[in-house]
């Protein structure tokens, strides 16, 4: 190894002891090789100084997008538990923080609920919602508590040309910290000069101070033939693009090489996930067949542009996800791909979007052979439907048209914004007549 890891640890100690008013350190931890090395070096550095000098809290922040590869989630969770236990055992000022997107920001609510097309380079709506916002919320919370915070990142100059440029651009000569775009936040990248070879040599030779060894990490990388998806805290962090452990639903990359490699290397239970991912690409690109010709809220779109997924496609994707979940749960891997809160939120969103021909509970009950009810939401709309059916003399087409119009009106009421209501109602009517003509 050319690089002197002890020297890096001494730099970390120097930086840790530097402040009169110790600003908290926030370590972005993704469970991948870079953030693992970073945490290990910080931990070792801290172990070398006396307990009395542990004046600064260290937060190990790990974000779960809720659509991470389940195999990787399982591995990360076990690592985090070991870190938590070791921190208590060794009385270290290290705290594990798990962040996740808000319900309204989750991947499935936006894709299946609102019909957002699967992400692409042109419309990458997910990174901010799934990755940047949850960690930023925690960082800003700490800043408002402590005044300032220092974010430690496992970025390395040889990782990619973009990352090298990004590090160079922000480094202030002679200083270890660079300014982050969040007010009162600074970035410290202690392992920026370590090459990938040096990193692997170190991890294979030195066991983690929280116990165990790095064999599973090495095997995962080997089997997934992959790089990792770093903690993403702003748009300059190269996220999620090329080969890495990222969201299993990611359609920004043309092929998920890491998932394909894991399947080839014995994780056959992931096949339904790979199929869903491929279907998402197909549904996104086959615009004419799968997407609406109007935007959300029945907004007219310029020629050649397409809106959200059609109701039938949203419903079909949900069916695929629940079927995959059911299949996987018959295997030892067992996992949850979509939560019950997301299912309820999707149903509410469908009602808001005027989708009454598909019901989340019907899809769920068909797959799980259950009699699951969505509580007050289903009941309320069932009553409304019965009443409308009576008024419309059982003419189902008119019931649906009125329901769609009511949904537009209710959405406007919720937003306390009546402007454009008439236009939107006219658009609903036009769309209804077009659909009727086609039948
Ligand atoms: S990995 Fe892909 S799906 Fe996940 S946030 Fe990044 S770009 Fe979006």
| pLDDT tens-digit map of 119-131 | 999 999 999 999 9
* Closest by CA position to 118, among listed 271, 309, 275, 255: 309
As for how many domains the chain has, the answer is 1
* Closest by CA position to 25, among listed 62, 56, 68: 56
The CATH number linked to 146 is 3.40.50.620
Measured from the Cα of 131, ligand 1's closest atom is 5
Whether 259 lines ligand 1, by a CB cut-off of 6 Å, is: no
**Best substitution site from 65, 69, 226 to test ligand 1's pocket, by max atoms within 8 Å of Cβ?**
65
- Distances in whole angstroms, Cα of residue 152 to Cα of each of 14, 166, 191, 424: 15, 15, 10, 48
Measured from the Cα of 246, ligand 1's closest atom is 1
In a domain, residue 18? The reply is: yes
In a domain, residue 329? The reply is: no
Whether 374 lines ligand 1, by a CB cut-off of 6 Å, is: no
Structural domain containing residue 45:
5-264
As a whole number, the mean pLDDT across the chain is 85
Residue nearest atom 5 in ligand 1 by C-alpha distance: 127
How much is the average pLDDT of 150-161? Answer: 79
How much is the average pLDDT of 359-386? Answer: 78
Q: Can you read off the two tokens belonging to residue 50?
A: 């006396």
Whether 252 lines ligand 1, by a CB cut-off of 6 Å, is: yes
Separation of CA 240 and ligand 1 centre (Å): 5
- Which segment of 129-133, 165-169, 234-238, 279-283 scores lowest on mean pLDDT? 234-238
- Contact between 163 and 156 (Cβ < 8 Å): yes
In a domain, residue 46? The reply is: yes
Rounded to whole angstroms, how far apart are CA atoms 137 and 414?
26
- Distances in whole angstroms, Cα of residue 410 to Cα of each of 341, 352, 387: 22, 7, 18
In a domain, residue 73? The reply is: yes
**Best substitution site from 227, 246, 277 to test ligand 1's pocket, by max atoms within 8 Å of Cβ?**
246
In a domain, residue 172? The reply is: yes
Whether 247 lines ligand 1, by a CB cut-off of 6 Å, is: yes
- pTM value is 0.81
- Rank 172-176, 251-255, 294-298, 359-363 by mean pLDDT and report only the highest: 359-363
How much is the average pLDDT of 268-294? Answer: 93
In a domain, residue 80? The reply is: yes
In a domain, residue 424? The reply is: no
Alpha helices in 160-212 (DSSP H): 161-170, 196-205
Separation of CA 298 and ligand 1 centre (Å): 28
| pLDDT tens-digit map of 46-105 | 999 977 778 899 999 999 999 999 988 999 999 999 999 999 999 999 999 999 999 999
pLDDT, greater one: 386 or 127: 127
Whether 240 lines ligand 1, by a CB cut-off of 6 Å, is: yes
Separation of CA 268 and ligand 1 centre (Å): 23
| pLDDT at position 138 over 50 | yes
Q: From the centroid of its chain, how far is CA 415? A: 27
Confidence of residue 378 (pLDDT cuts 50, 70, 90): low
In a domain, residue 81? The reply is: yes
Whether 217 lines ligand 1, by a CB cut-off of 6 Å, is: no
């Amino acid at each position: 190894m050319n690089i002197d890891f002890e020297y890096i640890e001494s730099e970390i100690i120097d930086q840790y002891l530097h402040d009169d008013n110790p600003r908290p350190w926030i370590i972005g931890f993704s469970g991948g090789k870079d953030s693992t090395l970073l945490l290990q070096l910080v931990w070792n550095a801290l172990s070398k100084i006396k307990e009395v000098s542990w004046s600064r809290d260290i937060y190990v922040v790990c974000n779960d997008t809720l659509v991470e590869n389940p195999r990787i989630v399982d591995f990360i969770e076990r690592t985090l538990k070991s870190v938590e236990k070791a921190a208590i055992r060794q009385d270290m000022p290290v705290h594990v923080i798990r962040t996740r997107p808000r319900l309204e920001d989750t991947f499935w609510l936006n894709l299946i609920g609102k019909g957002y097309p699967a992400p692409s380079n042109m419309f990458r709506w997910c990174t901010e919602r799934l990755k940047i916002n949850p960690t930023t919320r925690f960082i800003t919370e700490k800043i408002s508590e402590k005044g300032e915070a220092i974010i430690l990142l496992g970025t390395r100059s040889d990782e990619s040309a973009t990352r090298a440029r990004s590090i160079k651009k922000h480094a202030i000569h002679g200083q270890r910290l660079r300014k982050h775009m969040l007010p009162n936040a600074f970035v410290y990248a202690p392992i920026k000069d370590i090459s990938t070879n040096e990193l692997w040599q170190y991890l294979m030779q030195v066991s983690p101070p929280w116990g165990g060894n790095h064999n599973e990490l090495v095997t995962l990388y080997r089997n997934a033939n992959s790089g990792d998806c770093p903690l993403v805290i702003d748009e300059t962090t190269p996220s999620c693009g090329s080969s890495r452990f990222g969201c299993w639903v990611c359609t920004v990359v043309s092929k998920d090489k890491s998932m394909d490699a894991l399947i080839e290397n014995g994780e056959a239970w992931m096949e339904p996930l790979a199929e869903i991912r491929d279907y998402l690409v197909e549904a996104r690109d086959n615009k004419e067949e799968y997407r609406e010709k109007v935007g959300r809220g029945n907004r007219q779109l310029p020629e050649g542009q397409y809106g959200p997924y059609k109701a039938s496609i949203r419903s079909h994707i949900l069916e695929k996800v629940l079927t995959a979940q059911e299949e996987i749960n018959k295997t030892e891997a067992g996992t949850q791909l979509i939560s019950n809160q997301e299912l309820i939120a999707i149903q509410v969103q469908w009602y808001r979007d005027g989708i009454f021909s598909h019901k989340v509970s019907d899809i769920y009950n068909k797959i799980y052979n259950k009699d699951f009810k969505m509580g007050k939401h289903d009941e309320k709309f069932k009553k409304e439907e019965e009443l409308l059916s009576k008024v419309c003399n059982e003419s189902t087409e008119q019931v649906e048209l009125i329901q769609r119009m009511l949904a537009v009106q209710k959405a406007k009421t919720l937003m306390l914004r009546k402007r454009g209501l008439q236009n939107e109602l006219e658009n609903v009517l036009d769309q209804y007549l077009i659909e009727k003509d086609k039948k």
